[in-house]
Amino acid sequence: MTEHVWSYTSTSGHLAGTDLTGYKVEATDGTIGKVDKHSDEVDDAYLVVDTGVWIFGKEVLLPASRVVSIDPEERTVFVDRTKGQIKDAPEFHRDEHLGDPRYRDALSTYYGTGFPFGLPPI
């Protein structure tokens, strides 16, 4: 279906093995937090972002395909979604969702459709 959503694009500048933990994450309209955990496994690449005060006490899971560029000097990851789009994604709870295939399917649908807010209106 949308398996590519869990892989970095060839144009993102991601180098396998690079530790992105602590990098600032920038949406198209501002900062959303810092990378708390990441994976660069083939077909299972993602970022767990601690949103800090933006969405107090929350984390979000972003599939690697949403990364458009990485600036290692500034320690910043740029993603192709707005803060609102990220905030409106299916709610993430690390203990419940990190390995849950149903949650991953929901995120794949939300982030992998190409529509700005998930599925197109009916």
CA of 6: how far to CAs of 9, 55, 106, in Å? 9, 24, 13
113 — pLDDT class (breaks 50, 70, 90): low
- Which residues form the domain of 40? 3-112
CATH code, domain carrying 10: 2.30.30.240
- Domain presence at residue 7: yes
Cα separation, 49 vs 78, in Å, equals 12
Q: Quick one: average pLDDT of 25-49?
A: 93
Considering the domain boundaries, does residue 120 fall inside one?
no
Task: Please give the tally of structural domains in the chain.
Answer: 1
Q: Is the pLDDT reported for residue 69 higher than 80?
A: yes
Residue 121 domain-assigned (yes or no): no
What is the value of pTM for the model shown? 0.86
pLDDT grade for 118, boundaries at 50, 70 and 90 = very low
